[in-house]
Structure 1
Amino acid sequence: MHAFNLQSKPLSLAERLADLAVDVLIDEADLSPKPALVDRRGNGAHSDLHLGLMHASALSLWPAFKEMAEAASQFGTVGLPLREALGRIGREGEAAMLATTNGVNTHRGAIWALGLLVAAAALEPQANTAGALCLRAARLALLDDRYAPRPLSHGAQVALRYGVRGAREEAQLGFPAVLQRGLPQLERSRAQGHGEQNARLDALLAIMSGLADTCVLYRAGEEGLQAMQQGAQAVLDAGGSTSLAGRRRLHELDQCLLALNASPGGAADLLAACLLIDRIASGAAFIQGAM
């Protein structure tokens, strides 16, 4: 057969959703300047991370996201069999990620959040408004995986210590930091003509301004959390990342968090979730076209 006669096979729904999940992880990593996070400028508050590693980690998760979406399509309903399948696939995806990164935790929180959302999107491809998508993800998150390891993660330990919501609870509540803060700010900044990169930065800051980020609490305690929340709100109050005053405040926030060794990794995971929800909800025809 002549090479020019070859046609690429249409992507399945699961493959398209996996593509979207990997894309938002790479977009989140590339977004700059993010306060104390890995971006195009450097490593932020991390000595063991860099942008290339974040890209490689994101790409390593594509098979897991695809398999999660396939499992959702196969089971067809929210229930314990699907929840436990997602848990198993997520743990396998985490193992692949750690093999790629030589043991560095790059995207453990993102596997949880994006995996739930990919599965939720595959369950009902024709009903993927932001609210409906997050509701299905929450229903999945509320189910108890009998096979999940019982030792608490650092984030879960910190959540218990400080009496705040961790990544599990955030998902179980339907991602309120995204629905109530991130997405509305993303839409406002776009509507005001701030440009896509600035709109994403503003969405990240909106999430940071109200999130009890367990990554920050683990690294810098309540002092770090207060600095993150107040500093992020100060950037938004000064006009956001598109204004000169806002950029100055953003630089101050970056320097403050670096001095505290406080990296808002939880907010970064939720920004990726925000971008994924936005793309699925606004690109229903793209998702449905894979059916």
Structure 2
Amino acid sequence: MNSVLLDKDLDIKEFAKTTAQIIIEGMILEVISHPSPGLVSPFSNGSHRDMDYNTFLKSTAALSKYMSEFVSIGYNYNEGLLQRIREVGILAEKDMFKATNGINTQKGILFLSALIGVAAGRCRRLGTTLDRYNLSNIIKETTKGIVERELKSAYSKKDLTNGERLYIKYGVEGIRGEVENGLPTVIKYGLPEFEGALKSGLNINDSLINALIVIISKTDDTTILNRKGIAGLYFAKSMAKNAIYLGLMKSKIGRNYIEFMGKMFINKNISPGGSADLVAATYIIYKLEKLGECI
């Protein structure tokens, strides 16, 4: 472990840098994990024709310089956190789109990472334990009312975002509902599966894939809904549940089935992008807890 993580007197600048490093690590590990059905990896473009592994690396590099700033926001400010996140987030998005020639690779994980970074900064400021429960509660507090403000008000709008349209059509709250509830999918399903897989002897790659499949089975992924509607979502969840039954990456038949899932997802143009973002968040929070044990 890096010696800086063991410093009991870690100042906010070093804490912000270390937290930013963990966030970027999570973003990279999510995209390099394989087999990840329908998603971009070093071995497949998944269900994407407009992006590949290199696109994600360029995007992550462009976003990396902003991550410590989110931590600093959480440390330095008590109010208006969401507005400050969005002000910095707009700049980060512009750099992302510049790096990817206009392709939206990581808007979802940018938002999640910003919130997690702010929550980590708040934990440091308040002197509270850097763990999943405190991070969850701070994210809840930071995003309180976001569904009411940004989704329920959509009924009176003409030009709708994808998230607003899906909320009106299906009642799905997407990433806004997830964060306003404190990342319940990550806390209840992603982290327990990831940690359990690691303890069983699986490596990080396979543990992340296990977490991905479990998350697909549990969440109403708006990326899938946007592309393929409710039938596509049910299909993806059904395949994920089959993979869980077959043992996921712990068994040969489970691994083979997950590879088969990948072929089926590509064939049906299914991409669980929302689930991928939650997997990255799972790893980030896992590592932040490890950091919290050392400071």
**TM more than 0.5:** yes
Q: Compared with structure 1, are the counterparts of its residues 143 and 87 closer, same or farther at alpha carbon in structure 2 (3 Å cutoff)?
A: farther
Conservation of the 8 A alpha-carbon contact between 1:156 and 1:166: no
Where do 1:175-194 residues align within 5 Å?
175-194=183-202
Determine the structure 2 residue equivalent to 1:105: 104
Distance 2:122 2:21 in 1: 17
Q: Of 254, 258, 269, which residue of structure 2 is paired with 1:250?
A: 258
Distance 1:215 1:155 in 2: 9
Q: Of 127, 131, 134, which residue of structure 1 is paired with 2:133?
A: 131
Residue 194 of structure 1 deviates from its aligned partner by 2.1
Which secondary structure state, in structure 2, belongs to the residue aligned with residue 283 of structure 1? helix
Q: Of 8, 22, 25, which residue of structure 1 is paired with 2:24?
A: 22
Determine the structure 2 residue equivalent to 1:121: 120
Deviations 1:93-147 (A, max 9, x none): 11111111111000001111111001000111342111111110121112559xx
Determine the structure 1 residue equivalent to 2:40: 38
Gaps of 5+ in 2: 1-10
Q: Of 209, 215, 221, which residue of structure 1 is paired with 2:223?
A: 215
Conservation of the 8 A alpha-carbon contact between 1:98 and 1:104: yes
Where do 1:48-197 residues align within 5 Å?
48-75=50-77, 77=78, 79=79, 81-125=80-124, 126-142=128-144, 152-197=160-205
Deviations 1:8-47 (A, max 9, x none): xx96222222111111111100001100100021210000
Conservation of the 8 A alpha-carbon contact between 1:39 and 1:51: yes
Distance 2:191 2:183 in 1: 11
TM-score (norm 2): 0.87
Q: Which moved more, 1:159-168 or 1:91-100?
A: 159-168
Distance 2:291 2:15 in 1: 13
Distance 2:224 2:206 in 1: 23
1:282 is aligned to 2:287: no
State the percentage of identical aligned residues: 26
Distance 2:234 2:71 in 1: 37
- The one-letter amino acid of 2:221's match is D
Q: Compared with structure 1, are the counterparts of its residues 110 and 156 closer, same or farther at alpha carbon in structure 2 (3 Å cutoff)?
A: farther
Determine the structure 1 residue equivalent to 2:214: 206
- The one-letter amino acid of 1:24's match is G
Distance 2:233 2:109 in 1: 20
Deviations 1:31-79 (A, max 9, x none): 011001000212100001111110111111122222111111111x3x3
- The one-letter amino acid of 1:227's match is F
Distance 2:137 2:48 in 1: 33
Which secondary structure state, in structure 1, belongs to the residue aligned with residue 248 of structure 2? coil
Distance 1:59 1:131 in 2: 29
Which secondary structure state, in structure 1, belongs to the residue aligned with residue 65 of structure 2? helix
Distance 2:243 2:21 in 1: 32
Distance 1:18 1:195 in 2: 23
Q: Compared with structure 1, are the counterparts of its residues 16 and 156 closer, same or farther at alpha carbon in structure 2 (3 Å cutoff)?
A: farther
- The one-letter amino acid of 1:213's match is D
Conservation of the 8 A alpha-carbon contact between 2:33 and 2:206: no
Distance 1:127 1:285 in 2: 8
Determine the structure 2 residue equivalent to 1:271: 279
Q: Compared with structure 1, are the counterparts of its residues 284 and 152 closer, same or farther at alpha carbon in structure 2 (3 Å cutoff)?
A: farther
**RMSD of aligned C-alpha atoms?**
2.0
Determine the structure 2 residue equivalent to 1:4: none
Q: Compared with structure 1, are the counterparts of its residues 48 and 258 closer, same or farther at alpha carbon in structure 2 (3 Å cutoff)?
A: same
- The one-letter amino acid of 1:92's match is L
Q: Compared with structure 1, are the counterparts of its residues 60 and 45 closer, same or farther at alpha carbon in structure 2 (3 Å cutoff)?
A: same
Residue 253 of structure 1 deviates from its aligned partner by 1.4
- The one-letter amino acid of 2:39's match is L
Distance 1:156 1:132 in 2: 29
Determine the structure 2 residue equivalent to 1:230: 238
Determine the structure 2 residue equivalent to 1:12: 14
Conservation of the 8 A alpha-carbon contact between 1:25 and 1:272: yes
Distance 1:269 1:228 in 2: 16
Gaps of 5+ in 1: 1-9
